């Protein structure tokens, strides 16, 4: 794995819509290796929190930029802002991050878990893709990965550093936050990577058989509660055994999961 820091002179990559981009990684061997790297950064820098990209970094940057403009998340810049002054821009980015975190933390209403369940339009092929992605999560890794170092408190939603869920048919940042909250509280999974269509969470140890089954029942409610045929999809019977082999869980948050999964194999 090749690594470098954005603070170095003339980095080979632009920060794009990742204002707190700290490090770039090339040739990441596996999702497990990415998780280990993020955890090593956390251990070495406990004063910050770290969030990685995942699939399709350019598309994720584009949709994150638009998702940040959600009226519930955006913060108007000062009228006299000098965008050519790095110090002013850095101060503004910090204010915007803190505002997004506060808005997500205080969110009420339709973003609750029970109202997110069944709200994504899916087919059986999407459940197949969810199973396949958890069997082979390494295929989700883009050629270049960014890691943001975020000055967020432990209670702040990590997705504030990279809001995503821009298109109307996808889960938005508030819905994704509700999912992250539920999976953390009920199953011990914490977000560590957000991509253009997929997100990755991890728990300290792989789940045992009972824990994996309880998780899959929640995922079945999340993705299939509105469709009896989807609830009966055979993929749900196969998923617990897959999850018991790994610490990570990958979830799609767009309506076209099957197409997005196929694109990772092109």
Averaged pLDDT, 141-166:
95
Task: Quickly state the pLDDT bin for 76 (edges 50, 70, 90).
Answer: confident
- pLDDT of amino acid 111: 60
pLDDT surpasses 70 at 234: yes
Read off the pLDDT of residues 50-72 as tens digits, 9 standing for 90 and up.
Answer: 999 999 999 999 999 999 888 89
pLDDT surpasses 70 at 110: no
Which among 151, 149, 207 has a CA at the least distance from the CA of 183? Answer: 207
Structure tokens at 194: 């957000």
- pLDDT of amino acid 168: 87
Which among 87, 92, 107 has a CA at the least distance from the CA of 156? Answer: 107
pLDDT surpasses 80 at 266: no
- pLDDT of amino acid 88: 85
Averaged pLDDT, 239-251:
98
Query: Whole-angstrom distance between the N-terminal and C-terminal Cα of the chain?
Result: 22
Structure tokens at 21: 């981009």
Give 86 or 51, the one with higher predicted confidence: 51
Residue 41: Cβ within 10 Å count: 18
pLDDT surpasses 60 at 31: yes
Read off the pLDDT of residues 1-17 as tens digits, 9 standing for 90 and up.
Answer: 999 999 999 999 999 99
Task: Quickly state the pLDDT bin for 78 (edges 50, 70, 90).
Answer: confident
Q: What is the DSSP string of the chain?
A: -EEEETTSSS-SS--TT-TTEEEEEES---HHHHHHHHHHHHHH-TTSEEEEE-S-HHHHHHHHHHHTTSTTT--PPPTT--TT-HHHHHHHHHHHHHHHHHHHHT--STTSHHHHTT-S---HHHHHHHHHHHHSGGGG--SEEEEEEE---TTS-GGGGS----STTS--HHHHHHHHHHHHHHH--EEEEE-SSEEEEE-SS---HHHHHHHHHHHHHHHHTT-HHHHT-THHHHHHHHHTT-SEEEEE-STTHHHHHHHHT-
Read off the pLDDT of residues 192-226 as tens digits, 9 standing for 90 and up.
Answer: 999 999 999 999 999 999 999 999 999 999 999 87
In percent, the amount of the chain with pLDDT more than 70 equals 98
- pLDDT of amino acid 108: 58
Alpha-carbon span 167 to 164, nearest angstrom = 9
Read off the pLDDT of residues 159-186 as tens digits, 9 standing for 90 and up.
Answer: 999 999 888 899 999 999 999 999 999 9
Residue 39: Cβ within 10 Å count: 15
Give 228 or 25, the one with higher predicted confidence: 25
Alpha-carbon span 248 to 138, nearest angstrom = 11
Q: Which residues contact 199 (CB under 8 A, 6 or more apart)?
A: 54, 164, 176, 191, 193, 250, 251, 253
Alpha-carbon span 136 to 31, nearest angstrom = 9
- pLDDT of amino acid 102: 92
pLDDT surpasses 70 at 109: no
């Amino acid at each position: 794995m090749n690594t470098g820091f954005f603070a170095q002179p003339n980095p080979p990559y632009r920060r794009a819509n990742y204002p707190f981009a700290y490090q770039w990684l090339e040739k990441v061997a596996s999702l497990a290796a990415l998780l280990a790297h993020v955890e090593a950064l956390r251990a070495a820098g406990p004063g910050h929190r770290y969030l990685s990209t995942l699939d399709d970094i350019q598309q994720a940057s584009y949709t994150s930029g638009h998702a940040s403009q959600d009226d519930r998340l955006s913060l108007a810049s000062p009228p006299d802002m000098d965008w050519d002054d790095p110090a002013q821009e850095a101060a503004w980015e910090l204010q915007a991050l803190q505002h997004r975190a506060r808005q997500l933390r205080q969110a009420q209403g339709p973003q609750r878990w029970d109202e997110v369940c069944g709200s994504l339009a899916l087919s059986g092929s999407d459940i197949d893709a969810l199973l396949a992605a958890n069997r082979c999560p390494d295929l989700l890794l883009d050629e270049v990965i960014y890691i943001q170092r975020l000055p967020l408190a432990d209670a702040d939603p990590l997705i504030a550093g990279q809001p995503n869920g821009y298109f109307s048919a996808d889960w938005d940042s508030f819905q994704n936050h509700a999912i992250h909250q539920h999976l953390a509280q009920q199953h011990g999974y914490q977000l560590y990577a957000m991509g253009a269509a997929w997100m990755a969470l991890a728990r300290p140890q792989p789940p045992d058989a009972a824990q994996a089954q309880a998780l899959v029942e929640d995922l079945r409610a999340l993705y299939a509660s509105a469709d009896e045929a989807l609830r009966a999809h055979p993929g749900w019977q196969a998923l617990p055994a897959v999850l018991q082999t790994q610490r990570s869980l990958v979830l799609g948050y767009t309506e076209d999961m099957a197409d997005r999964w196929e694109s990772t194999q092109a």
